[in-house]
Amino acid sequence: MAVLFATHVLLLILSTATTLHFSASKAARLNMTCSEMERNALLSFKHGLADPSNRLSSCRIAVHGQGFTATTLIDNLNWISRLSSLEYLDLSGSDLHKQGNWLQVLSALPSLSELHLESCQIDNLGPPKGKTNFTHLQVLDLSNNNLNQQIPSWLFNLSKTLVQLDLHSNLLQGEIPQIISSLQNIKNLDLQNNQLSGPLPDSLGQLKHLEVLDLSNNTFTCPIPSPFANLSSLRTLNLAHNRLNGTIPKSFEFLKNLQVLNLGANSLTGDVPVTLGTLSNLVTLDLSSNLLEGSIIESNFVKLFTLKELRLSWTNLFLSVNSGWAPPFQLEYVLLSSFGIGPKFPEWLKRQSSVKVLTMSKAGIADLVPSWFWNWTLQIEFLDLSNNLLSGDLSNIFLNSSVINLSSNLFKGRLPSVSANVEVLNVANNSISGTISPFLCGKPNATNKLSVLDFSNNVLSDDLGHCWVHWQALVHVNLGSNNLSGEIPNSMGYLSQLESLLLDDNRFSGYIPSTLQNCSTMKFIDMGNNQLSDTIPDWMWEMQYDRNVISEVGPRPRVWRVYPRKKTKGMNDDDVAVNA
């Protein structure tokens, strides 16, 4: 039956289609399955497959290493060499690390134009034995393998028609060979996430058709070569996370088609050339985490009409624009942390109607947050204004962002209201007063997503309320260094996902509630500097059997580190005291 099944499938392919495409995802969509015996029969049948009548012209084979037993297929690749008209081959996810002859076998496919070998556990690119015949190859993907050598020079002479070479996420070492200029038709070159080093070769500037160049996450140590300005077709240039030094070339103004410029996380110095402001097709500009200094003026943005992503964080740059400046762009991502924006609050943000992410931590802003801003933030998914001198009353503010960090400012008033969408709320190190109960109990919502709550170092008072049952997504709670009092509520035991609970430096009294033993994922408890009973309950020892929990209780700081073992008979608290 298995042989009949295989025969039927092969005949169907030969008679009705020119595409042979085995894809796990497509099979799943069509709800097609076959037994292991049937698969093996099909594969055995294909091992003897010949194509004398060229019926498999323009053939495509895609065998992914999930669902379909690709590893069985590649025990012997010789059958593929019989498909002389094969144009597309995808063996991604298959295990080829024992197939030492894969290159020779595949080079016998003169019509092959695309070869995808991503995640095939290939660990060596030794030179081919004998002549290769990749005269039509346009796409070669060897990404996410274990290649741990220098890039072999022969690779750049493999095919004169190559337009895409993907070697990302390997362990490639050494310098990029100057002979890379042989890839005269290359459009997409991806060498990111390797261990390449040394200077960047000037010969890269000879690749006049290059549209995408990604050399990020390596260890190149050199200035950016001036011949890069000759890459007039370039749309994406990613040199991030290297050790590049020197200045940003003013000649980048000639890269008129550039859409993505990412130079982040290097050691570039000097100012930002005004000429970058003429790149009218630029969508992403990332100069973050460099040693750049000086002012950013309006001319730096004059023609950036299509800019969506601006990343200037962690530099020595500062913004110097008129108070009424109207930017020519509509940003979606504004990352300006540790970047000089202040002391005034940036009014130009009011004109940005599409922002999703805004970070202005440590931006030197010392100002009252304008009234329009909080309604404006309702569209934002990620908001970070921490470590400034921002002021204002949060009492009647409604917050909707998934992540909100307003910590280390001068905000006052009561706690703000939040939507069920908020996942992280940090207002630590401010002057927030009042009680926590209205925040917890005001609008009970079973769909609350809040997982991180940090109200520490404020002046909150009164008890903790009894509405914790409505906040069961909480993982980290920090209410330390306030004026909170009363007993720790039993309802905190409903926080079944809780990993850390910090209630230190308050005025809590009574005992640690036994309901906290329901928090089976707890890793850290700090209750120091309170008025609690100076005793670790027996159940807490049981919780600590398979975890390392730090617990502080009592009127003075006492730290217990409890190791993964039960309390034995005769052991007292002093036996495990690390610091008292």
Give 337's pLDDT tier (boundaries 50, 70, 90): very high
Range 447-476 average pLDDT:
95
364 pLDDT tier (thresholds 50, 70, 90): very high
pLDDT at 106 over 70: yes
Confidence grade of residue 27 (pLDDT, cut at 50, 70, 90): very low
Answer yes or no: are the C-beta atoms of 215 and 234 closer than 8 Å: no
**Any idea what the CATH number is for the domain that residue 562 is in?**
3.80.10.10
Would you place residue 59 in the very low, low, confident or very high pLDDT band (cuts 50, 70, 90)?
low
What is the C-alpha to C-alpha distance for residues 451 and 425, in angstroms, rounded to an integer? Answer: 8
With bands split at pLDDT 50, 70 and 90, how would you rate the model's confidence at 61?
A: low
* For residues 237-265, average pLDDT: 98
Element (DSSP H or E) covering residue 88: strand 86-90
> Residue 371 phi/psi, 5° resolution?
-65, -30
pLDDT at position 108: 82
Q: Which range of residues forms the domain containing residue 500? A: 394-580
Residue 528 inside a domain? The answer is yes
Tell me how far apart the alpha carbons of residues 194 and 148 are, in angstroms, rounded to a whole number: 9
pLDDT band at 385 (very low <50, low <70, confident <90, very high): very high
What is the model's pLDDT at position 446?
Answer: 66
Query: 160 or 406, which is more confident?
Result: 406
- Average per-residue pLDDT for the chain: 83
Distance CA 391, CA 395 (A): 12
In a domain, 133, yes or no: no
Question: Pick the residue with more confidence: 443 or 95?
Answer: 95
Cα atoms in the 13 Å half-sphere on the side-chain side of 393: 5
More confident residue, 369 or 16: 369
| Percent over 90 (pLDDT), the chain | 64
Question: Does residue 316 lie within any of the structural domains?
Answer: no
Mean pLDDT of 108-133: 84
Residue 22 has pLDDT above 60, yes or no: no
Instruction: Give the sign of the dihedral formed by CA 391, CA 392, CA 395, CA 400.
Output: negative
Tell me the residue type at 379.
Answer: Q
The yes-or-no verdict on residue 228 having pLDDT over 80 is yes
CB count within 10 Å of CB 292 equals: 23
> Cis bond leading into 343, ω under 30°?
yes
pLDDT in tens, 480-493: 999 999 999 999 99
- Residue 405 has, within 13 A of its CA and on its CB side, a CA count of 15
pLDDT at residue 395, rounded to an integer: 97
Q: Could you tell me if residue 44 is inside a domain? A: no
Q: Give SS3 for 541.
A: helix
pLDDT at 94: 86
Number of domains in the chain: 1
Looking at the predicted structure, is the pLDDT value of residue 578 above 60?
A: no
Contact 48, 79 (CB under 8 A): yes
In a domain, 275, yes or no: no
**Confidence at residue 17, expressed as pLDDT on a 0 to 100 scale:** 34
Write the CA distances from 58 to 17, 47, 371, integer angstroms: 10, 19, 64
Beta carbons of 445 and 417 less than 8 angstroms apart: no
3-state secondary structure 509-528: EECCCHHHHHCCCCCEEECC
Res. 39: pLDDT tops 60? no
For the ranges 55-69, 274-288, 505-519, 548-562, the maximum mean pLDDT occurs at 274-288
Tell me what the mean pLDDT of segment 471-475 comes to. 95
User: Looking at the chain, how many residues does it have?
Assistant: 580
Q: What's the pTM value of the predicted model, to 2 decimals?
A: 0.84
Higher-confidence position of 560 and 109: 109
* Cβ contacts of 163 within 8 Å, gap of 6 or more: 138, 139, 185, 186, 187, 188, 209
Please tell me the least confidently modeled range out of 91-100, 239-248, 411-420, 519-528: 91-100
Q: Is residue 107 part of a domain?
A: no
Q: How many CB atoms lie within 10 A of CB 306?
A: 15
Query: What percentage of residues in the chain have a pLDDT greater than 70?
Result: 79
Q: What is the mean pLDDT of residues 22-44?
A: 41
Q: Is residue 433 part of a domain?
A: yes
Please tell me whether residue 214 adopts helix, strand or coil conformation: strand
- The whole-angstrom separation of Cα 447 and Cα 162 is 52
pLDDT, tens only, 421-459: 999 999 999 999 999 999 999 876 668 999 999 999 999
- Region of 435 please: left (phi>0), alpha (psi -120 to 50) or beta: beta
